[in-house]
Structure 1
Amino acid sequence: MALKLHNAMWPGLVGKEEGTDHPPISLERMLELTKNADVDGQKFDGVDLFLFHPHTDPEASIDDIRHMADKIADSGFKIGSLVAPVWPGTVGGCAFGSQDDRDNFVHAVALSAKIGQVLKEHGARDYGVIRIDSAGSPEDFEKDELANTKLLAETFQRAGAVAAEHGERLAAEGEICWGGMHSWKHMLNTLEETGMPSTIGFQADLAHTYLYLLGYNSPENALLKPSYSEDEFWAAYKTMTDALRPWTTDFHVAQNDGSVHGSGSHDKTGRHCLADDPNGKLDITRCSEMWLKDYDQRGIQHICWDGCMFDNSVLETPKTWDAILDASIKVRNAVG
């Protein structure tokens, strides 16, 4: 079965703030922009959702969740992976923080798993995972790395057990702004310490994992120097993907220009840039192939473009979505 192509809805929310030049973009408008994308008659198959206001109330009633599912289905889309609101200031808390923080983290996953179950029963969702991260900073994590690794793994284990009760899998995002997953080695250690490969895997994003190579928040784990050659790049990329691919259960197509960008809790993380950005550092198709080798053996049925923190003017430009869709189609064609 060919991979389904999805677009992420959270670029309409992350880094957006009411009363600024970049207010949140509604779910309805994000669906419209996604629906309008077209490359030689090929379209997006579905969307991935962020389960938080204003797109989704994580504590919404079953009827409200079904109504949202109807709206998405009416746009011609399936729902894939869900992003749990695990961060302080949403529903959750730091996965290696206080007892209350860790309990709130698990509660956020529980709410998300229940929503996932409703969406499956509705028929709007047949595949995908629930995405999580540690919801804590590298700086806080490194204050006591040994103890925090243990706390993080224990919280993930609790969250994984809750997710499994609802027939869900979790995927931890490889993003350098989250403690315990701020380098490829930290991420691998967290996954191995958690030790639930059938339930808790890895979510690879091309933009974020590029900075794993450079060791931006963990210099001791860098695989490349900034002045790397092409041969050095591909050797380092193979080291990283060989280590993390067996855990990879969710995948984001993206591009990175080599810089970091962030806002609020998502600070100093990999900058997502346009698929056709001339400053892009990645061969999107070749890099994706290295992550997606034997993807079906890990239960991956779709890939998703992530354009997190694009300016609203970029998001509102139709050619942005056509370029994104074109890049995703090329990935699907390459991996089968």
Structure 2
Amino acid sequence: MSHTYPKLHNAMWPGLVGKEEGTDHPPISLDRMLELTANAEVNGQKFEGIDYFLFHPHTDPDASDDELKAIADKIAAKNLKVGSLVAPIWPGTVGDSAMGDDEARGKFVLAVEKACRIAKIFNEHGVREYGVIRIDSAAGVADWTADPEANTKKIAETFRQAAQVARDNGERLAAEGEICWAGMHSWKDMVNLLEAVDMPETVGFQADLAHTYLYLLGYNAPEHALLKEGYSDDEFWAAYKTMTDALRPWTIDFHVAQNDGSVHGTGSHDKTGRHCPADDPNGKLDIVKCAGYWLEGAADRGIKHICWDGCMFPNEMLETQQTWNTILDAMLKVRDAHGWD
């Protein structure tokens, strides 16, 4: 059955994350990512928007109002909306560790301030009508394990400060569940952090099918594993229900993705979920069925769109138009099964 919601978005950051100038996988320009997105089509259906990473080379976080309006014009000209924005909260961008000293944590909050400014310009332009601002702890798991209780408390306080900025600007923050981020590296630790922040109207969870699959297996947190290798279908769905029951009430942003059960990463994204093509024969997930667990009650939590995430695909794959048609087809199947009007 065809539904109006959730709107279907493509992420722009696969053109940036894990890409390096001077290598065989250089960054892919915003113009090219927009072109590939706008050209995707399945049975007359197209992507309706993008989710957007607010950092170089796609965007200068300190770009002028006029420069940002020009970007908004460019996106709108492709008949696309902007949804969720990724704040540049990591060391080496605008921000720094949410678990760091006062200076570092101040930079983290500053990054959220800059994201809110850009969001306001896009909102006033009209290219953005929904979505959240995405964050994570911008800190590694190894450092967190030195004092989990104190470090979770520190991250929570940083998130609260950032959330006050977001709330004052009419925005919500979604904390990305990914096994490489301190205090967010297991489903149980993610719940503990959200409860410690205790601002459910402003701070929620961003669920990604690829990353949350690894929550089940306890990568980086074996004490919270819900499955062992060689699990049965019945064991998988029981574990999936346990995880999603805990995190779904917090979920305000959602990524469709696939995972082959392995970990991968570069730089600060070390030992994280390997995103796979939507039709990867080694994919562990029934994308449509898994998405249903997260999208139950999604409209009541303010979700109006979903986004594909395929970080660290080879450039050749990203530059192939059929890749995006296959992804769009998977997105349409999710909406057909779990959408609303």
TM-score, L = length of structure 2: 0.98
Match of 1:328 in 2: 331
Match of 2:140 in 1: 137
1:217 aligned to 2:237? Answer: no
How many residues are paired up? 336
Match of 1:121 in 2: 124
Q: Deviations over 1:23-68 (max 9, x none)?
A: 0000000000001111011000000000000001111111111110
DSSP 3-state at the match of 2:120:
helix
Match of 1:239 among 237, 242, 247: 242
1:252 aligned to 2:249? Answer: no
DSSP 3-state at the match of 1:121:
helix
Match of 2:182 in 1: 179
1:275 aligned to 2:283? Answer: no
Match of 2:110 in 1: 107
Tell me which amino acid in the other structure corresponds to 2:286. D
Q: Deviations over 1:141-169 (max 9, x none)?
A: 11111111111000000000001111100
Match of 2:43 among 40, 45, 57: 40
TM-score, L = length of structure 1: 0.99
**How far, CA to CA, are the matches of 1:270 and 1:207 in structure 2?**
6
Match of 1:167 in 2: 170
**How far, CA to CA, are the matches of 1:155 and 1:62 in structure 2?**
28
1:192 aligned to 2:178? Answer: no
DSSP 3-state at the match of 2:9:
strand
In structure 1, stretches of 5+ residues that fail to align are none
Q: Deviations over 1:181-212 (max 9, x none)?
A: 00000000000000000000000000000000
Match of 1:81 in 2: 84
Tell me which amino acid in the other structure corresponds to 2:333. K
Tell me which amino acid in the other structure corresponds to 1:312. N
**How far, CA to CA, are the matches of 1:85 and 1:192 in structure 2?**
24
* Pairing of 1:17-32 with structure 2 (within 5 A): 17-32=20-35
**How far, CA to CA, are the matches of 2:305 and 2:285 in structure 1?**
21
DSSP 3-state at the match of 1:271:
strand
DSSP 3-state at the match of 1:143:
coil
Q: Deviations over 1:71-98 (max 9, x none)?
A: 0000110000000010000010010111
- The Cα RMSD (Å) is 0.5
**How far, CA to CA, are the matches of 1:326 and 1:101 in structure 2?**
42
- The Cα shift of 1:99 comes to 1.0
Match of 2:317 in 1: 314
In structure 2, stretches of 5+ residues that fail to align are none
**How far, CA to CA, are the matches of 1:19 and 1:259 in structure 2?**
27
DSSP 3-state at the match of 1:258:
strand
